[in-house]
Amino acid sequence: MRKICFVITARPSYSRVRSALCSLRKLVNVDLQIILTASALLDRYGNVAHEVESDGFYISSRVFTVLEGESPVTMAKTTGIGIIELTSEFQRLKPDLVVTIADRFETLATAISTTYLGIPLVHLQVSTNQTPFPSIPFQIIAVLAIPFPWIMISLLRSYILSPASFQIPRIKLTCFLKH
């Protein structure tokens, strides 16, 4: 059984992966884990926990990380808290694969934690920012994650059904496939 952990940091992120979660929970060899964190847990941004549970999903963990202030300092501190707390949750849940959505500062904590723990990271909803200076979180996550823009379900299904023959054009997954 493969443990696939979705880290949902905001209400819109849940909306974007809901159909993927519904498809994955139908697979018998998948243990679906959901971590809610950041603004996904705050009422003023539309706490999504009730919606997730109403859709029949079990929330594996609620990780509170957001500091008030909405400044570069509080964003950096929120990211630091996220790294600490998510690292503990990943150690407890022991996922085989983590899925993160979008590329804001909250998502950066997921990317850093999974990288240090050696857990492959799938990055969905990658920014299409075509400016010469994309966001710093986007640049860092792009280096640390396996990009899966629109074909996630078929790729994940291929991996779950046949991990030994599954290939992604990224060297990073090699250590994961040896297990």
Structural domains of the chain ordered from first start: 2-177 (3.40.50.2000)
pLDDT of 149 > 60? The answer is no
pLDDT at residue 163 in the model:
54
Residue 120 makes CB contacts below 8 A (sequence gap 6+) with 96, 97, 98, 114, 146, 172, 173, 176
Tokens of 79: 């990211």
pLDDT tens string 58-69 = 999 999 999 988
- In whole numbers, what is the pLDDT of the chain averaged over residues? 79
Give the span between the Cα atoms of 54 and 14, in whole angstroms. 13
pLDDT of amino acid 121: 85
Place 80 in a pLDDT band, splitting at 50, 70 and 90: very high
Q: What is the mean pLDDT of residues 117-128?
A: 76
CA atoms within 13 A on the CB side of 74: 8
